[in-house]
Structure formats: structure tokens, C-alpha cells
Amino acid sequence: MRIVGIGASAGGLAALEDFFRHTPADTGMAFIVVQHLDPTQKALLPELLQRFTDMPVQEARQDQHIQPNTVYVIPSNAELTVTDNLLKLQQPREPRGMRLPINVLFSSLASARSERAIAVVLSGMGSDGTLGLQAIRATGGLAVVQEPGSAEFDAMPLSAIAAGCADIVAPASELPGRILSYNTHVTEPDESKPPARSLEPIDAIIGILQQNTRHDFSLYKPSTLLRRIERRMAIHGIATMPDYIRYLEENSQEVQLLFKELLIGVTSFFRDPDAWDYLCKEALPALIERNRSGTGLRAWVVGCSTGEEAYSLAMVITEVLEQVKPKQDIGFQIFASDLSLEAIAVARAGRYPESIEAQVSKQRLARFFTRSDNGYQINQPIRDKVLFAQHDVILDPPFTKLDLLACRNLLIYFDPMLQRRLLPLFHYSLRENGLLMLGNSETVGRLNHLFEPLKQRLRLYRRLPHDSISGSSFLLKSFPPLSTLSKEQPVPVPTVPHKGSENLQTAADHLLLQVYAPAAVVLNRDADIVYISGRTGKYLEPAAGKANWNIHAMAREGLRTPLYTALKQAAAQREPVELHNVAVETGAGVQHVDVTVQALSDPAALKGMTMVVFREAPAVARSKRSKRSPAAVNDQSEEILRYQQAIEQLSEEARLSREELQASNEELQSTNEELQSANEELTSSKEEMQSMNEELQTINAELQAKLDDLALAQSDMQNVLNSIEIAILFMDQNLNVRRYTARASNIISLRESDVGRPLSELTTILDYPELEEDARETLNTLVVCEKQIATNDGRWFSIRIIPYRRLDNVIDGVVMTMVDITDTKELESSLRKESASPPSSR
């Protein structure tokens, strides 16, 4: 049995009506509805939904067995989860305004039903449901979202779609049909049986994927591939593999969607909290304690997806370094890699929805994140510690000299052969005693000679020393040259005899440029390097930290100051600026170099740029530096003077900049504190208001439905009263007129304006002076009063006075009925006369 979890908030009642009106009563599925409700009010949702469906609608109860073809609705002030085939209720863990009950249901549904789970997000405000949909997709379930344009409030559907976790997007009325179609085509998962389908079509699909994405899925588990392919087929209602292969060949967008499906890019902050807790309290402090060299920590997160795990690790390392306080100040760098460029882009941006509040503690949210309109932004210091890159762990060389490697919930999708190849690779990448983090369902298998468990249950391992792996030979085996991986033969280039001399000249020119051309770089207006020619490693080197291509950051020691001066001088004149015999610090000692700096004006493509040419200073010039001529000494003195002037100018500029920055910083600090305080207050108020607004929207929809019911009931009652030929008068507890029928106005003088008037002020044709007294007696004693009363015009009425009893069994007035019995009285009188007259004699 499949279970469909449905999440809705503001505007959700109309969407639920559209959904259930188009859902058959015999689907064989169970439906669980969660809506943002006012915790102080009893929910009216079950009886409202019952009007739209023939399935029984029940309010969920603790430990209730889930039955097919039944709708279960969350009660007020509770969180609803699914365990096995039971409903579980618990008190909300978060304060009002911070609760995400839809995420709670979906996450439990993913754990309990995996591939058999279906989650639906309908109209609502905020982002509740997004994380739950990600969990559903991670386990192979179906994620369904209402089309935002058809939703009264589109925030929840838009959040789910933006997170890339929507399999089906359609108006609420169309969703049941799409779900039933999916349910018809998808096969029930059974891990104990081999795939029923032939693997040949899967090989064809792998070929299509490799041709379009350049990624090879042939070493993934066939069962994993088959489930994901069948899932895409079911979403589109395609029954056979050949039909799906044709669909892939004709639809490049579906190829990309299948590629994303196979990547299974699902992650979260601090997934498996016990593992992170042990890492923070035990494993990392011990690792830092063993790091006596004082070198920075290096970590690699493999398959980082959208970055949550990499940022989690950065936060934990930051906290541990502050707690341990090592003797030497050490930093850290985290490399995070994934196949998906889209996931990498999201990770680099570092923006996440409000729903991460369920994963990240309030303390970490306050310290490592900045609140934005649509969620949270990772703060820059943490972002700077993580370097994201697209990387194929199967084909690309690994990062090395690591202290920690996290590869969680990735190996489970690879076949055993690939697992046995990657684990030695991880061993090679780690330093001695380095840490390996795996997912809950992953182990090192038989490779326990490479890793020992620190906590087997938490899948945390330490690298063991092992000399059987040779670095160079191992890498050559693991990562063969690209030519051996290519399955296509190179295209032969036709020879053209009459152009032989031209080809020879081009090849010779190219060789001469490579061998003899001086090292040079071309800079843009910001002094960033845009082109490199020759070998510049003696003079330039990448700066530590975040990649920076500015020449001032890359220039080696001894070259920076003269180069800065030359660049400013070249920008102010047309002639090239020459620097001679500049001493540059390199790893092998001091290297002397001549530098030419020239501003470029043509060709047009290079206008505004600057070329810097490096030539190694001749040895003769260096050997004669002690025997310089007076002219050379003068040149050197002038150069020193220029340097001094440049230093003084730079010092003055730096002093003025420092003063301005200090003043600006003080102002900004003050403003920032005020804004931070105001922002915290506004954020808190916004969350509370949003939560209350959603609850009020729900209550308003329920009350509107009730008002519609009451209006219909009142209309029915009025028609009933008008159709019966009985005079009826309704009075409240003070015997004031509440309602009456048309026939009652013929007996008691009543008009519409008399509603609310006391009975004592009304005139009547009844000869009944004790009418008020009898009505009050009935109100006090609850005893029914029945009398036959004559009127002034000779008619008779049967008067019956009974208590007015509400549905909650409270007496709220009296009801008086007046039935005309004149004909009955006249008949009785005639009968009495006949019986009183003497019988006639014969």
C-alpha cells in the first residue's frame, strides 16, 4: 500500500477540495493531510473534507493503523508521523511560529515507506515541505507539487520547485490522475529479486547519458539504475524500455533530468547528528592534538551536492579549534566536489531556505548564517573555508594530504568492484591517522587492513599505515590516460601537399615560441592576469587561500614593490618601463630578472591592457655588479630614489585609507549593531506573524465553509417553515420574539420590526390572558403546556408551548405552536347536540 502525504497551508482548503474531488474512492492508497492549524482551536478540517470525497475522513489518533482508501487529518497542536504502518502523534518540538509539521510528516514517510511514499505540496506560505520532499526523493519516492499559478499562495510550491525536488508539477485537480498513472506504471521494489528487465536497454541508456553528459554510469549498481529509470518512465507514463529510449533520443531535456535523477543529490545539514556529535567531541580534538607540525587541516567532501555537508564540517572544525585552542594557530581548508554543476553553483552561493531551521541549531544559525528574505545565507568566513569544484571521483585524480575525507551515502550506489577501487584511493589521499566518514549504510568491507573503526555504528574510521600501495603506480592504474578511456577512434586529418611549406612554417613558429619566447603575462585594468605565455613560475606563484589571479597577489617576494611602481609608471606614459636585475626570492634561492612593462593600445582587442615580460638577467651582468661604472651607480641611485618616493607615496595613501576606513568602520559597526538588533526583532515578529497569518487563513477558510453550511441550513429551515400550515412563534429566554411563521402573524399582531419585542407588548386575537404566565412557567419548569383557546372571532386554536432546546442541550427560550381546530370544535359541538336531543318515536 502506498501512502500519500499532503501538505498545505494558507489557501490550502480550496486546493484540497480540487484534489479530493478528482480522487477516486478506490485507489488502494491512504492519504494523510497536514495543514498549519491554530493550536488553540479544534480543527474543522475532517468534516469539511468529508464533503469532497466518498472516502472516510478521520482525525488521526495515536497508534492508529493506516487503512487504504482512507483520509487521515492532523489534529490541532500536534506533529504527525508514520512508523511502520501506524500513525504517531507528539507534541510540537518547536515554539509556535517555528513549526514545520509538513517536513516532519514527509521525512517520517520517507523513512517508513521509502519508494512507496508519495508527497504532495499544495498552496501555502513559507517553505515548509521542501526538505521533506528532498527526503522523499532521496529514498526513491514521488514528489508532487501544485502548479504555482493555480495556488492561492505560491510560496510553498515555488520553494519546492526552486530546490529542484519536484517530479510532477500540475494544478491540484490534475494531480490525482498523475499520481494514479505513476502508481500504475511503477513496479514495486523488491531488493531480494534480481531485476526483471533485461540489462541491455540499460546499457543503451548508459550510452546515451555518456554521449550527452560525458559521465559513465556503467559501474553503478544495476538495481539502482533500474529503479531510477523506471521511476522516470512512470512519471511520464511510459510502459516499455524501448519506448523510453526513443523518448530519450528525442528529448535532450529528459536526458538531463535522468542524469540529475541518477546523481541523487540529496543532503542536509548535520545529517546523522550522532556522527557529527562524536566527530566534534572526540575524533576531531584527537586529530588536532596529533597535528604537532602546526600545518593547517585539509578535508575533502566527496559528492557534496548543494554544500550542506561541507558547510557543516566547516562549522564543526571552527567550533573545535576554538574549544581545543592548539598551541600553534592552525587554519583549515575544505575541498568539496560533485558531478553536478548546478549543485556546485547552489553550494557556492550558500543560500538555503528557512526550512534548515529544523537541522541547524539556533546558536549556529545566529553565528554562521545571516537571515535574508527567503531564508539564510552562509557567512563569508565559512564560505571562504570551502572550495567547491566539479570532480568525478571515478575518473579524476584525488585531492591528497588530507586529514579528513567525508564520502557519505555515495558508495552504496556503486557496484562492489568500484567500491574496492575507491577505498584504497581514499587511503592514499589521507595522511597517517586521517579520518574517513562514511554513510550509515556503508562500511570498508574487507579492506580493514586500510582503516580501523573509531565508532563502527557511526561509520567513522581512522587510516592505518600500509605500504602496499605505491602512489605513482596506483594513480596510473586508477586514472588511465584519457586516450585509453575514449571509445571513439580519432578522426584522420587529410594531408594537403601544396600547403606543406605553410604547415612546416607554422609548426616551426609554434616550437620557437614555446622554447625561446620570454615568459610574459597580459593584465587587464585591474591588474588581473588574463593571458600567460611561457614559464612564469620563477616570478609568479598562486597565493594561498581563495584563488586570486591578481599579479600583485601572485608576484614573488622582491618583485611586488618594483612591479607596482612600474605598472603605475607605464599607465601614465606610452613608452615601456624597464626594470633591470631585480632580485626575486624563489624556493631555490635568489633569481635575478629583467622586467619590461608596457601599456598596450593596439591591436584593438588589447587596448587598455598591460603586458609584463620577464627575462632572466644575464650572468655577466650579475658577475660585474661589484664593478659598476659611475653611470650604473647613478642609475641605481635614481632607482632607489624612485623606490623611496613610491614607498612614501604608498605610505601616505595607506595612512589616509586607514583613517577613512577606521571612521567608516566605526560608523558601520554602530549602524550594523542597530540594524542587527532591529533585524532580529523584525525576523522574530515576521515569523510569528507569518505563522499566525497561516493559521488565520486556515481558520477563515474553515469558518467560511461553516457559514456556507449555516446559510444553507437557514434557507432550508425558512422553506420548511413557509411550507407548513402551522403558526409558530419562537421566543428567547426573556420571552422576546426571535422568529415566527407567516400564519402566526394572523393570530398575533407581528411585523418584521417586532423581532426582539417582548411577548407582553404584543396584541392577539386569542382569549388567552395567561399566555405570558404559561410561557414563563414552561421556561422555568421545562413542562410542556397544552391548551385549547378561543379567539375573539369565534375560532379555536390548540396552543402548545414547549422549551427551545439547543444542540448542546441548553434551554434557550420557548416555542409556541398554534393549530386551528375550529372545524374540530364545531364537529364536537354538533355531535354533542345530536347526542343531547331525545330519540324520535316510531
- Taking the CA atoms of 41, 45, 46 and 50 in sequence, report the sign of the dihedral they define: positive
Residue 617, φ and ψ in degrees, nearest 5: -65, 135
Q: Is 510 a catalytic residue?
A: no
Is residue 259 within 8 A of residue 215, CB to CB? The reply is yes
220 strand-pairing partners? 414
The cell for 751 is 411585523
Smallest CA-to-CA distance from 520 within 540, 541, 506, 502 is with: 540
Q: Residues with Cβ < 8 Å from 840, sequence gap 6 or more?
A: none
592 strand-pairing partners? 583
The cell for 230 is 523506471
Q: What is the DSSP string of 162-205?
A: HTT--SEEE-GGGHHHHHHHHHHHSPPP-TTS--SS-SHHHHHH
Q: Residues with Cβ < 8 Å from 679, sequence gap 6 or more?
A: 371
The H or E element containing residue 797 is strand 796-805
Instruction: Please state, in angstroms and rounded to a whole number, the distance separating the CA atoms of residues 408 and 276.
Output: 12
Q: Pick the catalytic residue: 18, 38, 128, 167?
A: 128
Distances (CA, A) of 146 to 26, 258, 686: 23, 22, 25
Q: Is 128 a catalytic residue?
A: yes
Helices (H), 724-838: 771-781, 822-836
- Taking the CA atoms of 91, 95, 97 and 100 in sequence, report the sign of the dihedral they define: negative
Is residue 114 within 8 A of residue 140, CB to CB? The reply is yes
Cβ burial 395-434 (10 Å sphere, 16+ → b, else e): eeebbeebbbbbbbbbbebbeeebbeebbbbbbbbbbeeb
Smallest CA-to-CA distance from 337 within 366, 299, 375 is with: 299
Using the structure block, give the residue that is written with the C-alpha cell 538531463: 256
Helices (H), 308-464: 308-324, 341-349, 362-368, 380-384, 416-429
Other CB atoms closer than 10 Å to residue 458's CB: what's the count? 20
Instruction: Please state, in angstroms and rounded to a whole number, the distance separating the CA atoms of residues 356 and 352.
Output: 7
Q: What is the DSSP string of 315-357?
A: HHHHHHHHHH--SS---EEEEEEES-HHHHHHHHHTEEEGGGG
Instruction: Please state, in angstroms and rounded to a whole number, the distance separating the CA atoms of residues 336 and 406.
Output: 9
Is residue 815 within 8 A of residue 735, CB to CB? The reply is no
The cell for 779 is 421556561
- The 3 state secondary structure assigned to 561-619 is HHHHHHHHHHHHCCCCEEEEEEEEEECCEEEEEEEEEEECCCCHHHCCCEEEEEEECCH
Smallest CA-to-CA distance from 349 within 316, 372, 325 is with: 372
Q: Pick the catalytic residue: 36, 107, 150, 340?
A: 36
Instruction: Please state, in angstroms and rounded to a whole number, the distance separating the CA atoms of residues 603 and 94.
Output: 65
Q: Residues with Cβ < 8 Å from 68, sequence gap 6 or more?
A: 1, 27, 28, 29, 30
800 strand-pairing partners? 786, 817
Length of the chain: 842
Instruction: Please state, in angstroms and rounded to a whole number, the distance separating the CA atoms of residues 595 and 597.
Output: 7
Q: Is 441 a catalytic residue?
A: no
Instruction: Please state, in angstroms and rounded to a whole number, the distance separating the CA atoms of residues 701 and 48.
Output: 10
Strands of 74-121 (E only): list them.
79-83, 86-90, 117-121
Q: Which residues are marked as active site?
A: 9, 36, 128
